[in-house]
Amino acid sequence: MTNEFVAENLQAFLGDALLHIEEPHGLLTIVVHRSRITDVLKHLKNSELNFIFLTDITGVHYPNYPQNELCAVYHLHNLEKNIRIRVKAFMPIENPTIDTATTVFRTANWMERETFDFFGIVFKGHPNLVRILNIDEMDYFPMRKEYPLEDGTRTDKDDSMFGR
């Protein structure tokens, strides 16, 4: 099984819902519409493609992508053929919701909670979507790029010493 075979299979299955295909560093990466994420994951798992192992779910914040600021990223593995795939689904920061993958992979439970905790992506239908690593009282999502990297009020650091 090759990346080309998997890509053709997904193109036939998804049609226009398959928004983009690329292969950075040999890893097949597809972008799908967020409304089809459950269908895509079921197809990858239950079809001849046999991606039965959900390796990871995470989020990415792209502050400069209007209406696509947040991205849910899924990594799956076909253990038999030793092939991996990355699936991405973008969403606006004003409505960061996507269907849960727990209906397809029970192991998605913890990973979705962690992604919610750090990026604020809401997984609709999740059985217990609450913070898992941060305190419940947090009113922000620490992995979003919403804060300056450095404290501009610091006086104990002279940037000229660091070549800036």
- Residue 85: per-residue pLDDT: 97
Full set of structural domains in the chain with CATH: 3-148 (3.30.460.80)
Q: Does pTM surpass 0.85? A: yes
The count of residues in the chain is 164
Q: Which stretch of 105-114, 138-147, 149-158 has the lowest confidence by average pLDDT?
A: 149-158
Please answer whether residues 94 and 64 qualify as being in contact, where contact means their C-beta atoms are separated by less than 8 angstroms.
no
Residue 136 pLDDT greater than 70, yes or no: yes
Q: What is the pLDDT of residue 140?
A: 83
Average pLDDT over residues 100-128: 95
The predicted pLDDT at position 123 comes to: 97
Structure tokens at 65: 């992508």
pLDDT of 164 reads 59
Instruction: Order the strands of the 83-91 sheet from edge to edge.
Output: 18-22, 28-32, 83-91, 70-78, 53-61
Tokens 């070549």 locate to 163
- Check whether 148 has a pLDDT greater than 90: no
Helix then strand count (H, E) for the chain reads: 3, 7
DSSP string covering 38-85: HHHHHHHHHSTT---EEEEEEEEE-TTSTT--EEEEEEEEETTTTEEE
Residues ≥6 apart with Cβ < 8 Å to 61: 69, 70, 71, 93, 119, 143, 144, 145, 146
The angle, 0 to 180 degrees and rounded to 10, between the axes of the packed helices 3-14 and 37-46 is 130
- Give tens-digit pLDDT for 60-71: 999 999 999 999
Answer yes or no: is pLDDT of 156 > 80: no
Provide the mean pLDDT of the chain.
91
pLDDT band (50, 70, 90) for residue 159: low
Q: Which pLDDT value is given to residue 162?
A: 67
pLDDT tens digits, one per residue of 76-88: 999 999 999 999 9
